[in-house]
Amino acid sequence: MARLPSILQNQIEALAGQLLAPPGVPRPDFAAPPGEPALLPPDSVSWRVFDNPVTLFIGGIAAVLLELGEPRIRHGVWDHSDFRTNPLARMQRTGLAALVTVYAPESQARAMIAGVTRAHGGVTGTTPAGEAYSASDPDLLDWVGATALYGFMEAYSGYDRPLSSADKDRVFAEGQVTAGLYGATGAPDSAAGWEALLDRMRPRLEPSETLLEFLAIMRRVPALPAAARPLQHVLIRAAVDILPPGIAAQLRIADRGLRPLERPLVQTAARTAGAILIRNWPSVAACRRLGLPDDWLQRRD
């Protein structure tokens, strides 16, 4: 386990605390009640993948790019959310929700998902092309859930520690629990299932001004401290780089990927984040809840 100077450690933990505290949202207690299991067990691959805040940031952006490429999801998100006006709070809420599904006590995770599902019930509309959409549509839920898992998994595997084919299958299999609670009925349960879903969705993915606006927002939103803002721009380009083959070109953002020599920088940042113990990160609190050492996940590696 890597050890950092106390000043840097405190800065990282302050940033983690900020990311986990979206305004107006009660912070879940990942450490209580003692002994209550999460939706997934500590020895799952997902516990490892979601433990790295750098790769979660990269993977989350990749997932949104894939989602905004689908016109019904694009209009459902862009026309019914506050992403344009309050992007940081939206990012914080989305990131916290992902962490709750993996590390929170099962009762809290189920309650959070039920609340999100109720809120999405009223999100309906029609695209400019005349296609009706609903945030409760199981087909769209399949895509949203699968793209999130793909993004987090590929970012972790590409920039922190490579995952085996079996590990990637397990990530999708583990995602079945959450997918079902959200209302997805055909979410892929393996990497092969993901490829089949991608093949079905690929013809629907299209470029748009919304995609470019999203990338511009992500570049200027203060997700990282001012001193680390140049790294934020690199992490956004790293997200473009992990899109499935051919998708960045199809969305006309292939020129927005990593520049020469930037990949080692991203890998260093991701591997450092994965090797240190962030004492206020949800995985650590979850380990305490289950009677495991704070550094249990680092010991697994």
pLDDT tens for 29-63 read: 999 999 999 999 999 999 999 999 999 999 999 99
Residue 125 bridge partners (DSSP)? 133
Per the model's pLDDT, the better-predicted residue between 229 and 175 turns out to be: 175
Is residue 167 pLDDT above 80, yes or no?
Answer: yes
Report the mean per-residue pLDDT for the chain. Answer: 91
- Phi first, then psi, for residue 124 (nearest 5°) are -140, 165
- If we measure between CA atoms, which residue out of 96, 99, 11 comes closest to residue 49? 99
- If we measure between CA atoms, which residue out of 273, 246, 269, 268 comes closest to residue 257? 246
Taking CA atoms, 19 is separated from 7, 12, 106, 214, in Å, by 19, 11, 22, 19
Overall average pLDDT of the 202-227 stretch:
90
Is residue 121 pLDDT above 90, yes or no?
Answer: no
CB 131 within 8 A of CB 72: yes
Taking CA atoms, 141 is separated from 81, 88, 138, 186, in Å, by 17, 23, 5, 9
Q: Are strands 124-126 and 132-134 parallel, antiparallel or unpaired?
A: antiparallel
pTM: 0.94
Listed by start position, the domains of the chain span 6-300
CB 140 within 8 A of CB 87: no
pLDDT of residue 92: 82
- If we measure between CA atoms, which residue out of 21, 49, 60 comes closest to residue 218? 60
Is residue 223 pLDDT above 90, yes or no?
Answer: no
- The neighbour count for residue 241, using CB atoms within 10 Å, is 20
Rounded Cα–Cα distance for residues 85 and 96 (Å) = 19
pLDDT of residue 189: 97
pLDDT band at 278 (very low <50, low <70, confident <90, very high): confident
pLDDT of residue 245: 97
**Strand, helix or coil at 57?**
helix
CB 134 within 8 A of CB 124: yes
- If we measure between CA atoms, which residue out of 161, 171, 159, 153 comes closest to residue 54? 159
Overall average pLDDT of the 91-107 stretch:
92
Rounded Cα–Cα distance for residues 213 and 183 (Å) = 29
